[in-house]
Amino acid sequence: MTSDPAARPPLDKTRLAGLAPDVVPDVHILVVDEVPSTNALAVERAHAGAADGFVVVAEHQSQGRGRLDRTWETPRGTALTFSMVLRPSVPTRSWPWLPLLTGYAVDKALKALGYDAGVKWPNDVLIGDRKVAGILIERIETSEGPAAVVGVGLNVGMREDELPVPTATSLAVASGTEPDRNVVLVAVLSTLREAYDAWQAGGDATGLRLAESYAAACVTVGQDVRVDLPDGSALTGRATGIDPSGRLVVEGPGGTTYVAAGDVIHVRAAEQ
C-alpha cells in the first residue's frame, strides 16, 4: 500500500475525459481538484443545462454532504467523490428506485473487482459490516424538466488511521492493496450506466426485476432490524424483502410494515 499520501496517483483527467463510448457510454466526465461538494456543483450544472450523463469527480471535497445534513469526510486523494446528472425518462413515481439502483450498481462493480461487498438498504455499500460507500440523491426542477443528481462517495485508498469513523472501511483496508481510483471509477460508472439504461428501458416489469436483484445483493434482507423514523419512533422486526417500489418489508409484532427509503433516519441490525 502507498505509505506516503502525497505519492498517491491523481485522477487521470485526460483519460477520464476521453473515455470511449464502448467503455462507458453516454457520460462526460469533468475532473476538478477541490469543491465543497460535487453534488452541489452537479446541481448547479444541471440548472445551467448539463445533459444526462454529466459527471463531476473531485480530488477533494471540503464540505461533502451525507443524507439529512450529515457530513461525508474523505482525505484528499484517497476516495472517489463524484456526482452524475440524470434526466430519467421514466415517470417520477419510479424515481425512488434511483438510490437503490445506484447502491446496487456500486456493489456489483465492487464484486466484479473482487471485493466481498454487499448493499445495506437503502443505499449504503458495505464490506463486512463497515461502510465503504454512501449515496446521496437529490431531485431538482430545472428549466429543462426534473433531474436527479446521483452522488457517490467511495472509500478507496484510506489507511485504517485515515478513516473518518470507526464504522467505515476502504478498499485498501479491506484488501491490503490500494487500487487505482481511475480503474475503480470507470468500473463503477459503466455498471451504473448499464443498470440505469436497463431500468429506463424496462417498463413496468423493471421494479419487480430490480427488487429481486436488489434483494439478492442486500445484506439487510433476512436480518432483524431496528428502523429509526423521523418522528422519533422506532420499528423493530425481521426484514423479509424489498417490494416492487423499493420499500423494505419489515415483519414485526404489529404486522407487516413497508418502509420507504425517504422515511428512515437509520436502519441498524437489531441488538440480539
The DSSP letter of residue 234 is: E
Between 27 and 207, CB nearer to ligand BT5: 27
Nearest approach, Cβ of residue 59 and ligand BT5 (Å)? 12
Nearest approach, Cβ of residue 168 and ligand BT5 (Å)? 3
Peptide bond into 164 cis (omega under 30): no
Between 106 and 235, CB nearer to ligand BT5: 106
Q: Is 272 exposed, middle or buried (0-12, 13-18, 19+ CB in 10 A)?
A: exposed
Angle subtended at Cα 210 by Cα 206 and Cα 212, rounded to the nearest 5 degrees: 125
Nearest CA to 251 among 271, 222, 229?
222
Angle subtended at Cα 14 by Cα 9 and Cα 15, rounded to the nearest 5 degrees: 75
Nearest approach, Cβ of residue 63 and ligand BT5 (Å)? 7
Count the neighbouring beta carbons within 10 Å of the beta carbon of residue 28: 16
Q: Which residue sits closest to ligand BT5, CB atoms considered?
A: 134
Q: Is 148 exposed, middle or buried (0-12, 13-18, 19+ CB in 10 A)?
A: buried
- Do residues 48 and 22 touch, judged by C-beta distance below 8 A? no
Between 38 and 94, CB nearer to ligand BT5: 38
Nearest CA to 132 among 142, 140, 144, 124?
124
Nearest approach, Cβ of residue 209 and ligand BT5 (Å)? 25
Nearest approach, Cβ of residue 250 and ligand BT5 (Å)? 19
Nearest approach, Cβ of residue 134 and ligand BT5 (Å)? 2
28 contact partners, CB below 8 Å, separation of at least 6? 17, 51, 53, 54, 55
Between 32 and 51, CB nearer to ligand BT5: 32
Interface residues toward ligand BT5, by CB under 6 A? 37-39, 61, 64-68, 70, 72-74, 81-83, 124, 131, 134-136, 151-153, 155, 164-165, 168
Nearest approach, Cβ of residue 8 and ligand BT5 (Å)? 16
Alpha helices (runs of H) in the chain, residue ranges in sequence order: 13-17, 38-47, 97-112, 171-175, 181-201, 205-217
Between 106 and 250, CB nearer to ligand BT5: 106
Between 94 and 102, CB nearer to ligand BT5: 102
Between 151 and 157, CB nearer to ligand BT5: 151
